[in-house]
Amino acid sequence: METPHFRLKFIGLMGVLALVGIGVWQGHSLDLPQLMQGIDSLGPLAWLAFIVLYAVATVAFLPGSLLTLVGGALFGPILGTLVNLTGATLGAVLAFLIARHLGAEWVRNRAGSRLAAILDGVAAEGWRFVALVRLVPLFPFNVLNYALGLTRIPLLPYLLTTWIAMLPGAAAYTWLGYLGREAAVGGEDLIKKGLLVLGLLVAVALLPGLLLRWKAAQGPRWSIDELYRQQTTAQAMTLLDVRDAKDFHGEFGHIPGSLNIPLPELTARLPELRASGHTLAVVCHTDKRSTKAVQQMRQAGLDKVILVRGGVQAWKRRNWPLERG
């Protein structure tokens, strides 16, 4: 039986789909000179109106790159970057919240095991995943905003990471829009400004490759769900918990079958771990101490070392059994 809450969600979803449909239909026929003239005519309120326009355009799937160029032309390289970045981030947050409140519950209830594992893995990475996909354009920006809303990534890390990770690209395209207007009106120092824009564009183009290399250097990682699966299938695997003994045996407990070697004692126990030849899955309460342990072991030449994201805390959130004492 349909409830008022369901009907409100359905009406909201239809409204968003209609807005997106209009945006996709009209997106490639934007009259940029007329848009710039209309925004510029608002005087002191122009920057605020442009932020609102950019946010609505992001929700409606209008091309953000064109708006970023317009923002640079209207407001210059510094204010334009702040205005563009604020509008894009606000739009990204609105799309995120729309997806979370209108579709996340429905998707989670109907997701198969593979999709559920993907969503859990993304949530376990949290802000790190948001930073990666913002800096490495694997998916269209407007689609990504809605997709991330279907995960359990908290709102505040999503907002802050989106703002920070989009800053390099926003600055580069804002400067490009500013340079275009300067060239049109015959501004001074065009060569110097053009070289600066070129440098920014090259930096933005190289950044994804550098980030992917850094990501690869971090080595393999497992979500807590992957650890659970590996415990039932993997051969010769040691689950290493690097918390202090009082935490390992304390009230919070530890994952069954794990070996406790506190981080300060790890160096002395490395020969023992190397001799076992096992794959080492490393956990702590979250993943701070385990990250340090993994780095230490890899520097010592152990290559079969895997960081488990989320640690014992993530295991507890799944209501899986823990041992105490």
pLDDT tens sequence across 57-86: 888 888 778 888 888 888 988 999 999 999
State the pLDDT at residue 1: 45
The pLDDT tens digits for 128-143 are 788 888 877 667 888 8
Element (H, E) at 13: helix 4-26
What residue spans define the domains of the chain? 4-216, 221-317
Residue range 102-118: mean pLDDT, rounded: 71
Mean pLDDT of the chain: 80
**Lowest mean per-residue pLDDT among 11-20, 30-39, 97-106, 299-308:** 11-20
**Lowest mean per-residue pLDDT among 15-29, 249-263, 273-287:** 15-29
State the pLDDT at residue 114: 66
303 or 11, which is more confident? 303
182 or 226, which is more confident? 226
Separation CA 89–CA 85 (nearest Å): 6
Q: Residues in the chain, how many?
A: 325
132 or 100, which is more confident? 100
Residue 27: pLDDT band (50, 70, 90) is low
- CA 8 vs CA 4, 13, 107: distances in Å: 6, 9, 17
pTM (two decimals): 0.64
Residue 96: pLDDT band (50, 70, 90) is very high
Residue range 229-237: mean pLDDT, rounded: 75
What residues contact residue 311 under an 8 Å CB cut-off, 6+ apart? 224, 283, 284, 285, 286, 287, 290
The answer to whether 309 touches 283, Cβ cutoff 8 Å, is no
The CATH number that domain 221-317 falls under is: 3.40.250.10
